[in-house]
Amino acid sequence: MATATQESLIRACPSCGVKNRIPLDRLADEGRCGSCKAALPPASEPIDVGPELFDEIVSRAAVPVLVDFWAAWCGPCRMAAPEVSATAKAAAGRALVLKVDTESHPALAARYGVQAIPNFAVLKGGRVVFQQPGFARQAQMEEWIRRVS
């Protein structure tokens, strides 16, 4: 799991476990561990974000960003979670996947007109290019990303 700072995400190296600071505009890129020099793969898991980190990632991303607006009490959201994770893994390097908890961040959900969850949005260049409420499978999410790539 990655943790966030203001300008970067902290990710552990899969080879040696050392924590590495990844600039937000490089999350979709492969890098190298500062300690062991092993490859650090692009972000391949959903990133839980609040408003500040959301805005920073979306404004800096060179790739499409799939956003999952969800809540812990929502059954369809829990059903979609493995599909979202699988999409993040499959789209690593081609897209970023963010998760926004609508209970913790209702203003961010309201900014995107979220009235039903789960709700998925694909952003490119900081703008929404696709949005859909309701459960979706991995193949659908990957198709949304392909359409805007």
Residues with active-site annotation: 74, 77
Tokens of 4: 């966030």
Widest distance between CA atoms in the chain: 46
Among 37, 31, 9, 7, which Cα is nearest to 98's? 9
Going by DSSP bridges, is the β-strand pair 65-70/47-48 parallel, antiparallel, or unpaired? Answer: unpaired
Question: Where would I find the beta strands (DSSP E) of the chain?
Answer: 3-4, 8-12, 19-23, 31-32, 39-40, 47-48, 65-70, 96-101, 119-124, 127-133
Question: Token digits for 23?
Answer: 């600039």
